[in-house]
Amino acid sequence: MKQKSPKATGNPWKVNPDTSEQVTVPVPKPVIMVKVDGPFRERERKLWTFLLHAVAHRLEESRVHELPAADVWKVFNQLGGERGKAWLWDALASLSDTKVTFEGVDKGDVRYKTITRLISAVRLNEGRGTDTIWFEFPQMLIDAIKQPLQYARIRTHHLISLSGKYSVTLYEILEGVANQKHPILEVSVEDLRQWLKVPNGKLKCWGHFHSRCLEPAVKEINSNPYGSGFEVSYELIQGARSKVKAVRFTVKKTDSRLQFEDSLQNSGNQSVKCAFKPSTYEKAKKLVPGLDVYGLELEWRAWKCKKGQAIDNEEAAFLGFCKKRIRKKMSLKTSMQCSS
């Protein structure tokens, strides 16, 4: 029986601390842990994961994707990430310059090696309040993303909220371990430095690496186990002359995470679609000024799922739902005014 590909869950556009653990997206482990060449810093990791989550349900439906830039800025601002507008183009350009190497064995037991960019093309259309991001994932990367094995289920909003320089990458690495039968990772100090993208020539002394990189990152991750979905401990493996040669991490999931994962299995790991075209959101905002269009989208999709009927034109149906909601709100407001 063919194994189903893992699905993204939750709505990346809707920031709610009470449901942040449900906003997840599967990311191939090679993007996290294998050699990555280029300016793939914590800012780029956050943005790439968010872009992937925003279009995860239609990766194979369209090669080129578009998103409203203002709404991307808003999510990052709400979660304490990058502020302002200038960083977005710089981060997109960096992603188009970043390459990742995949190595493995295919179904025919043939070893393979693949090099691909994280984003093959980017474009930023600037207009009066209607800036739009256009971007494209390479097909070979899409194939890796759709693989059911070798992935980490990243909590998108939690990732963006992390502030430590090395916390972002360490969280992703440990998330890739959390779902293993034995959630233990032993990694050499040399490989850990490479995965965390410690600059060459920096923190060469173990004491400096431990106090300025490893220890602060672990501390930040453990400071919010609800957000991370796990707690982590580590021990040092010593070699000759008591020199630290490796670090052994042990990951323990939280109870709330275990409950969420049970619910995923019971629901067949169904994805939650959560992205219309930018023009659809602009139309919705004009129809329901002052209301949260992304929250309304969640309500509409829940209603559609409950009805269990196929809808030919989802955009028109969603906008009709918005019209009904604003009429209901205005009717209630009028009734309250009359009664007073």
Contact present, 297 and 319 (Cβ < 8 Å): no
Over residues 280-291, the pLDDT tens digits come to 877 888 888 877
Per-residue pLDDT for 188 more than 90? yes
Q: What's the CA gap between 45 and 32, in Å, rounded?
A: 9
For residue 330, give the DSSP letter. H
Q: What's the CA gap between 123 and 92, in Å, rounded?
A: 8
Over residues 127-185, the pLDDT tens digits come to 766 788 899 999 888 887 876 457 888 999 999 999 888 999 999 999 988 888 889 99
Over residues 56-79, the pLDDT tens digits come to 888 877 888 988 888 898 899 999
What tokens does 295 get?
A: 């929250």
Q: Which of 122-126, 160-164, 333-337 has the highest mean pLDDT?
A: 160-164
Domains present along the chain, CATH in parentheses: 1-159 (no CATH), 162-267 (1.10.10.10), 278-339 (no CATH)
Q: What Å distances lie between residue 127 and 61, 122, 279, CA to CA?
A: 27, 17, 13
pLDDT for the residue 242: 79
For residue 269, give the DSSP letter. S
Q: What Å distances lie between residue 29 and 26, 115, 138, 169, CA to CA?
A: 9, 14, 17, 12
Q: Do β-strands 111-117 and 64-68 pair in parallel, antiparallel, or remain unpaired?
A: unpaired
